[in-house]
Amino acid sequence: MLFSTLIFLIAFLPIVLFGYYVLLRKWRPAQNVFLLFASLVFYAWGEPKFVFVMIGSILFNWLMGLLVDRRREKKTAKLWIALDVAGNLGLLFVFKYLMFTLGNINTLFGLSLPVPTITLPIGISFFTFQAMSYVLDVYRGDGQVQKNPLYVGLYISLFPQLIAGPIVRYQTVADEIMNRKETWDDFTDGVHRFLVGFLKKVLLANTMALVADGVFDSKEPVCAAASWLGLIAYTLQIYYDFSGYSDMGIGLGRMFGFHFLENFDYPYISTSITEFWRRWHISLGTWFRDYVYIPLGGSRVKKPRLVFNLFVVWLLTGIWHGANWTFLVWGLMYFVLLTVEKLTGADKKLQGKGWLPVKYIYTMAFVCLGWLVFRADSITAAWAYLRNMLGMGTSVLDDSFWYYFDNYVVFLIAAAVLAVPLAPWLRKKIDALPKAPRTVCNAVYTVGLLSLFLVGISYIVKGSYNPFIYFNF
């Protein structure tokens, strides 16, 4: 089930809110069981059979958590941790990488091993990482073990963040499972955050997808200008698609008393690759930092070891995103860039306002190049697209560019402007106004937001493009 569908907006969410706040008010255990049941229904809506995969993951990690907690002070605890990691990664491998691995073995060695057709469960990378987070946090003492498997199930399957994040660390919500406090301020903030994410997805990401898909998937030759426009559109699409989902997830969590950490912080204003990855998909970056990079030694090691640590993290980051050589190349590109930045300290050395445009252009050039590889179906397709951008073997400008430009220029400009922290700046200015004009501005904003929400609903009714990119991961 998608957040940006009528079935979710007019049926699922109202029913869950009614049951949670009216029927089960002030009865926390029943509320938790109800949320768990609702989350399983939410996940099973599209592919019912895969809900059993997630339930199996929940029970496995619940059992591992109990075993690790009982033996935390003994050497055998590490064996249980190793078994838990192997079990979770094994699940990921079978569903996400087995077909890719067997296919490449056949190609490389001229074999004809049978390659089964395996459908990927939606969001398996997200809920698997959360499941591992639970056991690892129990081992570290960062969260209390849950003896009741229903509460482990609630943490892993909670529908606001289940399918595409943010990846919620167990220690973040461990106490809130039983002791959260819902407030009116949290609820209204959550509604506002959900509406903002909804508009990001439906009005901006979906519209940018029309341009990006039209150019990237074109069967006809595409001119250089249209290729640039298509890549810019995809760069904006993936940001609004993923950050929009995260906003909706954070908002929904807030409506039920859960406080998830932020997942995006205006990444397209970054002036280094290091800064970009502090602002983009923050929950994934911190997960790899805390569970892989720091245990390997982090940055407080000699340079060869530092390079190795970065290599492992970014190899795994690329693999996490999908079973395709494009994701490996994408991850290793960031490994090289981040290694250079850390070893040279260029970001810290090149200070001063004069360097900012240079650093920004450098950062966004590689970010866009990364998204080109990320979006392409293969390395060959990525190279062909790059050749088009450089005008090699194609025209510089033709009617295809003007078609997309004329029809979508307003959305492109809006998406580019809103990708910078204009909204927080305006909010500070409004909050600093005297009471009367501040009230007027807030009223205008509320009316505008609700009006745009109705426009977004009309887009959904028309049945325009709507899937989330990160459901594939």
Instruction: Report pLDDT for 470.
Output: 60
The residue from 192, 259, 281, 321 that is catalytic is 321
Q: What is the CB neighbour count within 10 angstroms for residue 266?
A: 17
Question: Tens-digit pLDDT profile for the chain (473 aa)?
Answer: 788 888 999 999 999 999 999 999 888 899 999 999 999 999 888 778 889 999 999 999 999 999 998 887 777 888 899 999 999 999 999 999 999 999 989 988 888 888 888 888 888 888 899 999 999 988 888 878 888 999 999 999 999 988 776 888 887 888 888 888 999 999 999 999 999 999 999 999 999 999 999 999 988 888 999 999 999 999 999 999 999 999 999 999 999 999 998 999 999 999 999 999 999 999 999 999 999 999 999 888 899 999 999 999 999 999 998 889 999 999 999 999 999 999 988 777 777 777 888 899 999 999 999 999 999 999 999 999 999 999 888 888 888 899 999 999 999 999 999 999 988 888 888 888 888 888 898 899 899 999 999 998 988 887 765 566 666 65
> For the residues of 405-454, what is the DSSP string, one character each?
HHHHHHHHHHHHHHTSTHHHHHHHHHHTS-HHHHHHHHHHHHHHHHHHHH
* Of 205, 192, 174, 172, residue with least CA distance to 251: 192
The amino acid that residue 43 corresponds to is Y
Dist CA 416 CA 409 (whole Å): 10
What does the buried/exposed string (b/e) look like for 278-317 if buried means 16 or more CB atoms within 10 Å of the residue's CB? Answer: ebbbbbbbbbbebbebeeeeeeeeeeeebeebbeebbeeb
Tokens linked to 302: 């000699």
Annotated catalytic residue 259: no
Q: Which helix (H) or strand (E) holds 209?
A: helix 206-216
> For the residues of 178-208, what is the DSSP string, one character each?
HH----HHHHHHHHHHHHHHHHIIIIIIHHH
Instruction: Report pLDDT for 36.
Output: 94
* Of 382, 266, 297, residue with least CA distance to 333: 382
Give yes or no for a contact between 1 and 467, defined as CB atoms under 8 angstroms apart: no
